[in-house]
Structure 1
Amino acid sequence: MVEAMEILQQIGQILAFLVLTLMYSVRSLVNFFIPAAYEPVKNVKGDVILITGGGSGLGRLLSIKLSKLGAKIVIWDVNEKGMEETVKMVKSNGGTIHHYKVDITKREEVYKVAEQVKKDAGDVTILINNAGVVSGYHLLDIPDHLIQRTFEVNAISHFWTTKAFLPSMISNKRGHIVTIASMAGHMGCSKLVDYCSSKFAAVGFDESLRVELEALGVTDIKTTCVCPFFIHGTGMFGDVAPKFTPVLTTEQVSESVILGILREDLYVMLPKSMRYSFWVKWILPWQVISMYMRHTVPDACPTPGMK
């Protein structure tokens, strides 16, 4: 009798899963055909937005643009001169901004400065894990400390920043965590073994965190994973010249990131056509995928980054 009840319960769970799968799939299909202009967006006026790597490139543009929307900006970076420039630009537009020199690879430093941010600016409501580095060497040529640095900045630091600000988001029932990952977090590339691996980790961090929050019943905290192709203007891939797919600009990416935040998108993939490429990855033979990647990006880092 007990076994029969368990079997019926399992059948009921499977049927419920199939019904919900159909419902969510239909809703997703309908949303696909809704023009972006008609999609609902949230208002970030009054939000406290913390952006790591805000002293240059994409982080600087996000700071300027989000401040224009009425958000209070907080930037972290190790580049004090760069942060000062960002501060000037934001304030020249009438924005509010706080800046702190922080090495996000140092856990205790992150926690300490996070407490100061709460005192100075209030509870962070949107966290943008943007800071990133690239070494740009073949695996056997990368000094060990650069491999560690790549993972510490591109992936492990996300744990420290999120642990610092997620508790207040949960308490306030309001929050959004944005992970600036990469298309390199979905497909490997020569001379970027450490970089791709760290971005795979960043993508996994976002997805796992989202699942965990949902499993805990935390529905007020949103997460967005941003996966752009190569970007000019970040100081990392300025001289890369891929074939077939054009390099993105920080202007293009910043606009898409902000729209993704406002719409609370789960993923922002740039260019948009890339979001359909992953189906192909698992269908075509590996030799085809490898050949495509090797010819599309013949040299991901003509000029290596870190030393």
Structure 2
Amino acid sequence: MNLVLDLLWFAVILIYSYAESLVKLFIPVKRKSVSGEIVLITGAGQGIGRLTSYEFAKRHSTLILWDINKRGVEETAEGCRKLGANAHAFVVDCSIREEIYRAAEKVKKDIGDVSILVNNAGVLTTADLLSTQDKQIQKTFEVNILAHYWTTKMFLPAMMKTNHGHIVTVASLAGYVTIPFMIAYSSSKFAAVGFHKALTEELAALGKHGINTTCLCPYFINNNFVKNLSTRLVPVVKLETVVAQLMDGILCNQKNGYCSTNYEIPFANGKNPARSCIEGFL
């Protein structure tokens, strides 16, 4: 029964998203400039993180790149420099809170205040629950959701002082629709979606309307997470497509992908309701 409901909900989302995309073809949304912004991207050593770094580099942002893979993150930084951007590579294990805090302090001291934070780092274990090791479950939550708390706590205060910034959450379709043999991953992505929604409402309640939020929830992506991926229920999308949709969402201050819309959070005083968006699916 739950599977049927999940599929029906997914079908509604998909139909709505295609309809909205059709409307957007005729009503273009103005894009903001990110030139000169200090952008921090976690998990920048490959995949979504690397290509997103290149997109910001093309737009003359200053890049702060974090990844546990030293070679990968340095290659990304070099690619950004070739595109004309100022890029700084840091080796950071996002499963360790203390490492995040140390690296964040160094960034603030040596480079400046981050104005765009892209929480992209993620890990995935595919196995049934009883075969999944305890340490794998713990690390999944440490990287996929707890790290979002630590990075946001470090960089949000400066954004709040200026009422300017953008916090991006890279989640997953698995944060909406349950998937067997991915219980830890799916649960962590449900939490990431919840983090994004709650943060969005909290910023609105505090009157910080200059700080935007975006959450990306892609279908299965053709990358290194899952080898030889195929599914009959949802399409497998190209990495470049995912990043293009993510950048659209950031530059337009809204959610992106085939399913996205703005919604307002009303307040009793009727003043300046929060502008947020329902998560985008690719």
Picking from 238, 241, 255, the partner of 1:252 is 241
Contact 1:129–1:178 (Cα < 8 Å) also in 2: yes
Distance in 2 of aligned mates of 1:132 and 1:41: 28
The 5-angstrom pairing of residues 131-280 of structure 1 reads 131-233=121-223, 235-265=224-254, 267-269=255-257, 272=258
Query: What is the Cα deviation at residue 249 of structure 1?
Result: 1.3
> In the alignment, is residue 126 of structure 1 matched against residue 113 of structure 2?
no
**Structure with the larger helix share:** 1
Gaps in structure 1 of 5+ consecutive residues: 1-28, 277-307
Query: What is the Cα deviation at residue 88 of structure 1?
Result: 1.7
CA RMSD of aligned residues (A): 2.0
Match of 2:45 in 1: 55
TM-score by length of structure 1 reads: 0.75
Match of 1:109 in 2: 99
Distance 1:36 1:105, change over 3 A: farther
Distance in 2 of aligned mates of 1:175 and 1:100: 22
Structure 1: which 4+ aligned runs deviate by more than 4 Å? 29-32
Contact 2:248–2:256 (Cα < 8 Å) also in 1: no
Distance in 1 of aligned mates of 2:153 and 2:133: 30
Match of 1:16 in 2: none
Show CA shifts across 1:111-148 (max 9, x none). Answer: 22111112232110000000000010100100011000
Distance in 2 of aligned mates of 1:56 and 1:240: 18
Identity %: 43
Query: What is the Cα deviation at residue 91 of structure 1?
Result: 1.3
Query: What is the Cα deviation at residue 89 of structure 1?
Result: 1.1
Match of 2:15 in 1: none
* Residue-pair matches, total: 243
**Which amino acid is 2:114 matched to?**
V
Distance in 1 of aligned mates of 2:193 and 2:72: 27
Match of 1:292 in 2: none
Q: Counterpart of 1:35 in 2: which secondary structure?
A: helix
Gaps in structure 2 of 5+ consecutive residues: 1-18, 262-282
Query: What is the Cα deviation at residue 32 of structure 1?
Result: 7.9
Distance 1:37 1:65, change over 3 A: farther
TM-score by length of structure 2 reads: 0.82
Match of 1:45 in 2: 35
**Which amino acid is 1:243 matched to?**
R
